[in-house]
Chains A and B, each alone.
Chain A
Amino acid sequence: DQQVKQNSPSLSVQEGRISILNCDYTNSMFDYFLWYKKYPAEGPTFLISISSIKDKNEDGRFTVFLNKSAKHLSLHIVPSQPGDSAVYFCAARVTGNQFYFGTGTSLTVIP
Chain B
Amino acid sequence: GAGVSQTPSNKVTEKGKYVELRCDPISGHTALYWYRQSLGQGPEFLIYFQGTGAADDSGLPNDRFFAVRPEGSVSTLKIQRTERGDSAVYLCASGGSSYNEQFFGPGTRLTVL
Contacts and interface: CB of A to CB of B under 8 A. Distances in A.
A103 B39 CA distance: 10
B86 to A, nearest CB: 19
Interface string A29-54: 00010101000011111100100000
B93 A43 contact: yes
A87 B49 CA distance: 27
Contacts, number: 60
B55 interface: yes
Interface stretch (A13-21, A65-73, A78-86, A89-97): A89-97
Interface residues of A, number: 24
B25 interface: no
Contact of B42 (A43, A93, A98, A102): A102
B28 interface: no
A75 interface: no
B58 interface: yes
A42 B106 CA distance: 4
Interface of A: 4, 6, 32, 34, 36, 41-46, 49, 89, 91, 93, 96-104
